[in-house]
Structure 1
């Protein structure tokens, strides 16, 4: 139980520290059982980065695992510093980043290229967060561009799974069944009605993503799509000493040419991550509407600063192909949906978000857990990408209210998904200027004419 209790309708207790609101487990919030259990399964998604670290950077398995531990420390920062979202990678950007790294041989050159990229991404987040431009951007970006970014990121995430040579072709049975179960448990209206009446359904609803992943894993093993695990016992300890040989302090920092080459990919990654911020804000807004007992302060600039700090840590101590993103969409949605069920289901949103990655970090030390899921790492990554795609598309569509906005967003989304974020953004901005701005100007002109006519009628009358 938390030592400090929240007054009804007020913020969860915290320690003010500049732009941050420090919350410690047990002192400022209690650990949530549902997120604790869920994390001991879902931590496997963070471990699923290991194959990419081995292939793209040329890291040995133990060093890649040490990188994952550094990532786990970063995952705990948002809840610690005052943000209620569950952080993750910039997941839809991973295919673009892998393509960027393919220009460099695995080893020191690829690591330097990734360091340059991650430092640039850290700078973008920190600059926009410290100056406050991140919050202004979130508030002032047109609906069509918000929708286009979200829908485009969603399509890109799905395309990576269903295209020729994707994981759908390799493991169709487990991936299709797992995806449908995950979407049904998390978003189905009929299941929500059932969970309100049935205890088993309510238990599955509280478990969130876990049942879908476990069923997908069992199906994958049953149909031979994945190998059975070789379980090892003991404590999983990171190889931090060996990891030092693969960091910029040892292999050298990137030269100016690598920074210049990384600029387009850094901009693309931020644009996609910005879509995650929009998703996270929408999820929090939707969840808090149903809860008048807690005042939730989720600040866009604070999200930017925390994400910048996490990318900075990664750049120096564990350059990561997934980068550090503002939210893990699938799990943030799971926590937010459970939070909507009332204070009895989850006392505070910070308890749910904080518990998840504390438990996820502890799970990394449990060797039997790590080894049992080792053969099925790809299915965990795939389900995350698919749920990310679903949520990005649905929330992106929610941003659009007019026919013109839907047209601009649709073309922007397809361009972004097929050609990348930079061409997609350019297409969206150009279309917004020549279509929406023209429409808005015409609408204002018509309104002025109508107003003048009404004034003349009033004079005559």
Structure 2
């Protein structure tokens, strides 16, 4: 229950803070049981980033755990201030970011490189949010380059899992079954038919990628690919001293050269994130069409501003490789779908998004849950990356129509996946001007010459 009640067809109650709408649980919205349950498993996706922090960045487990905990609190900011998305990471960027960070020694050097990407990305969000140029920037970007970025990120995500030494190779049974089950639940035409016919299947679908993660964990434990967890009781306490040791106040702030080097990766981060924002906006608009009892009002520029705030806080105090993603697409899609079931199923879109985020934030403090899932964290990360890779490639392919666009996009994608953002963007730009832009002028001139010959 909540103190304030919404009038039919009105905006969910809130406290006004300038342009922002502050909403708090029990005061402005109720907590939703289904989303609370989902959060008890989905929080493992946030924990899975610990593996990247300890290996690529060279952090201690204690520092990485503290970052994972505090990052969940930062994820609460957008939805608490009026954004109807479940915030998350810029997941498709992770493989590209890993390539960039691989140029630096694990430890202070790699952490400074991560901080530089966070700072530049945050500034981009601020500038394009204040000026409102974000949409114009994305529209002006050629389709072939958009596709190349998305396909390259998708290839990088899947390639990192299936290459020699990847997690699919080292633990194939659990990840192949879990990955296929995830794709089946999310995208299969057969599953969609079952969804329309069975209430049980509908309930399974409501939990998004959670069933696939749980099945993969159980199978991984049964076949011996993962060890039996050692359950500990109590509350998870973040080691703040270890966390402080990896902030820029200790490892040092990135210099100008490092900030410049981070620009290509930050540009990719924004392009991918903006694409996610568009997807999220469409999900919310589609869901709101079935619910006339609530008016969902928000501003995409405010999404930019709140993402900037998260990004700056990340860079200064919580250096996290997921960056400040404006939307966790799978989580938002799950909430939006259940929202369409009506007011009894979900009071408000904000009760759904906030309930999920509150649950996954609090779940990380339940030490038995953390220690239960700790051996299986690679599974949650792998399934998330496989799903992300599939989505990126799927959406990227839909961007291109002509043979020229396909060629530019695919070559750019391969270079981006193998060598990182800077080389990928350079290759894409060069190919665009040589094949598409320059090719168009050549064809036009050739047509004029032929016409002249016919006249003669």
- Is the Cα contact below 8 Å between 1:230 and 1:372 reproduced in 2? yes
| Structure 1 residues 231-380: aligned runs within 5 Å | 231-380=231-380
Return the alpha-carbon distance in structure 1 between the equivalents of residues 428 and 101 of structure 2: 27
Structure 1 residues 157 and 106, CA gap change in structure 2 (3 angstroms): closer
- Paired residues of 1:43 and 1:364 also in contact (CA < 8 A): yes
Cα displacement string for residues 389-431 of structure 1 (whole angstroms, at most 9, x for unaligned residues): 2223334445557777666655554454344344544555566
**Does residue 208 of structure 1 match 2:203?**
no
Q: Which residue of 1 aligns with 2:40?
A: 40
Instruction: Call closer, same or farther: CA 1:208–1:12 in 2, change over 3 Å.
Output: same
RMSD over aligned CA atoms reads 3.0
Q: Secondary structure at the match of 2:16?
A: strand
TM-score by length of structure 1 reads 0.86
Give the equivalent residue in structure 1 for 2:451. Answer: none
Tell me how far 1:379 sits from its aligned partner.
0.5
More moved, 190-199 vs 346-355: 190-199
Q: Are residues 435 and 23 of structure 1, via their aligned partners in 2, closer, same or farther at CA, if it must alter by over 3 Å?
A: farther
Task: After superposing the two structures, state which structure 1 stretch, 171-180 or 375-384, moved more.
Answer: 171-180
In 1, Cα distance between equivalents of 2:326 and 2:20? 15
Q: Which shows bigger deviation, 238-247 or 33-42? A: 238-247
CA distance in 2, matches of 1:371, 1:45: 14
Q: Deviations over 1:293-337 (max 9, x none)?
A: 433335332222222111111111121222221222222222233
In structure 2, do the counterparts of structure 1 residues 407 and 343 end up closer, same or farther at CA, with 3 Å as the change threshold?
farther
Aligned ranges for residues 115-264 of structure 1 at < 5 Å? 115-138=115-138, 141=141, 143-264=143-264
Match of 2:21, SS state, is strand
CA deviation map 1:108-142 (0-9, x unaligned): 33322322222122111111112211243345555
Aligned partners of 1:329 and 1:388 also within 8 Å: no
Question: Which whole-Å CA distance do the structure 1 matches of 2:7 and 2:182 have between them?
Answer: 35
Matches within 5 A, 1:68-107: 68-107=68-107
Q: Is the 8 A contact 1:129 1:301 kept in 2?
A: yes
Task: Report if the CA contact (8 A) 2:175-2:216 is conserved.
Answer: yes
Task: Pick which of 176-185 and 282-291 moved more.
Answer: 282-291
Tell me the TM-score normalised to structure 2 length.
0.87
Q: 1:67: Cα distance to partner?
A: 1.0
Question: CA 1:259–1:434 in 2, change beyond 3 Å: closer, same or farther?
Answer: closer
For these two proteins, the number of residue pairs brought into alignment is 445
Say which SS state the counterpart of residue 94 (structure 1) adopts.
helix
1:307-456 paired onto structure 2 within 5 Å: 307-399=307-399, 409-410=409-410, 412-426=412-426, 428=428
* Deviation at residue 239 of structure 1 after TM alignment: 1.2
Structure 2 runs not aligned, ≥5 long: 443-456
Unaligned 5+ residue runs, structure 1? 443-461
SS at match of 1:207: coil
CA distance in 2, matches of 1:139, 1:270: 13
Which residue of 2 is the match for residue 448 of structure 1?
A: none
Deviation, structure 1 residue 44? 0.9
Which stretch shifts more, 432-441 or 363-372?
A: 432-441
Deviates more, 1:106-115 or 1:311-320: 106-115
CA 1:363–1:427 in structure 2 vs 1: closer, same or farther (change >3 Å)? Answer: same
**Aligned equivalents of 1:66 and 1:289: distance in 2?**
40
- Contact residue 96 and residue 417 of structure 2 kept, 8 A: no
1:60-109 Cα deviation digits (max 9, x unpaired): 22222111122111111111121112122222222332333333333333
Structure 1 residues 309-318 or 151-160, which shifts more?
Answer: 151-160
